[in-house]
Amino acid sequence: MNISKPEATLISRPGETLYISGSDAADFLHAQLSSSVHELPPGRWQWSAWLNAQGRVRALLQLGHGPDGHYHALLRGGSAERLGRALQLFVMRARVVIQASLRRYTLDAALPEGQLETPSDGLVFGMGTHSWRLAAQSTSLTPSDDIGQRARREEIRRGWPRIPDNFLDRLLPPALGLEHLSAVRFDKGCFPGQEVAARLHFQGGHKYGLARLRMANPVRPGQTLEVPHTYPLKILDRVTSERGFEVLAVVHQSLDPSVLTAGIELLERFTP
């Protein structure tokens, strides 16, 4: 079901974006990120991630390929400025320019999932039931507290995470459902953290994954929630729903729904 376009629904948090240009941009991103950037056609976006040497996720991205051949990355958590500075250390002699910017989030009409549009006033990422339009920040606009609850709820139900700042560089790819997102490829050659990610994929051993829960009481993204008789839950995102709150969280694979306390219900696990 498509989400109707609201009247100027502005998002109170800024959109953290990177613009990556230059004749070596595609090769640079393909070598650094977990997705197959070489297979991304112009006018499309894909899920991708940047891992550290230990395989932990430094950034989760919606990476778009513009019609001009350059790339646009919308961060799902973290600072674009910090990420740009960190990536710049690996540019060396490559012909690559990385520019960070804050953009204004607006919930817009539905576009097919994976479609990228680059109008003169910004970027539009198609999400299927809705789209996110990102325009230049303007001090003349006052963002409201309406963060597009129905759109965010749809993203949580599809297992599309955002990473709170305090969980960056701490979670491994299976915990965030990177294979469920098709954000990691093991046939593309080496990238930072590839050895760890591949070992977890082919040999297993990681005991955490992505799940959707319903909770009666509010929690906040970035919270580690202690639950009796099981491992703590790491809260990634949450929105209000008809029966309390829908939550996207990292949970231990041994989580038994029968031991959850009153007010917490396991709805779905996201698997590859």
CB 100 within 8 A of CB 86: no
Position 60 confidence tier, pLDDT thresholds 50, 70, 90: very high
Question: Which of residues 61 and 15 earns the better pLDDT score?
Answer: 61
Helix runs in the chain, H state only: 25-32, 80-88, 149-157, 194-203
Per-residue model confidence (pLDDT) at position 143: 43
Retrieve residue 80's tokens: 């674009």
Per-residue model confidence (pLDDT) at position 142: 44
Tens of pLDDT, residue by residue over 79-137, are 999 999 999 999 999 999 999 999 988 888 899 999 999 998 899 999 999 999 998 76
**CA-to-CA distance for 223 and 227, rounded, in angstroms?**
12
Residues with Cβ within 8 Å of residue 58, at least 6 apart in sequence: 49, 50, 51, 52, 78, 83, 86, 168, 169
Residues with Cβ within 8 Å of residue 52, at least 6 apart in sequence: 58, 169, 192, 193
Regarding the domain delimited by 165-270, which CATH topology (the fold level of the hierarchy) does it fall under?
A: Elongation Factor Tu (Ef-tu); domain 3 (2.40.30)
Per-residue model confidence (pLDDT) at position 138: 53
Closest among 249, 77, 246 to 163, alpha carbons compared: 77
Return the domain boundaries, the chain.
15-148, 165-270
Per-residue model confidence (pLDDT) at position 204: 86
Domain 15-148, classified CATH 3.30.1360.120, yes or no: yes
Type and span of the H or E element at 50: strand 44-51
Per-residue model confidence (pLDDT) at position 27: 97
Mean pLDDT of the chain: 91
Position 14 confidence tier, pLDDT thresholds 50, 70, 90: confident
Per-residue model confidence (pLDDT) at position 149: 82
Question: Which of residues 9 and 239 earns the better pLDDT score?
Answer: 239
Q: What are phi and psi of 72, to 5 degrees?
A: -125, 125
Percent of the chain with pLDDT over 90: 78
Per-residue model confidence (pLDDT) at position 144: 43
Closest among 211, 214, 203, 209 to 252, alpha carbons compared: 209
Per-residue model confidence (pLDDT) at position 1: 57
Above 70 in pLDDT, residue 262? Answer: yes
DSSP string, 114-169: TBEE--TTEEEEE-SS-EEEEEE--TT----S---HHHHHHHHHTT-----GGGTT
Per-residue model confidence (pLDDT) at position 137: 66
Tens of pLDDT, residue by residue over 138-192, are 534 444 444 478 888 999 999 999 999 999 999 999 999 999 999 999 999 899 9
| Residue where the block lists tokens 């051993």 | 205
- Averaged pLDDT, 237-245: 91
Per-residue model confidence (pLDDT) at position 104: 87
Domain 15-148 and domain 165-270, same fold? Reply is no
Residue 262, helix vs strand vs coil:
coil
Residues with Cβ within 8 Å of residue 82, at least 6 apart in sequence: none
Position 3 confidence tier, pLDDT thresholds 50, 70, 90: low
Position 229 confidence tier, pLDDT thresholds 50, 70, 90: confident
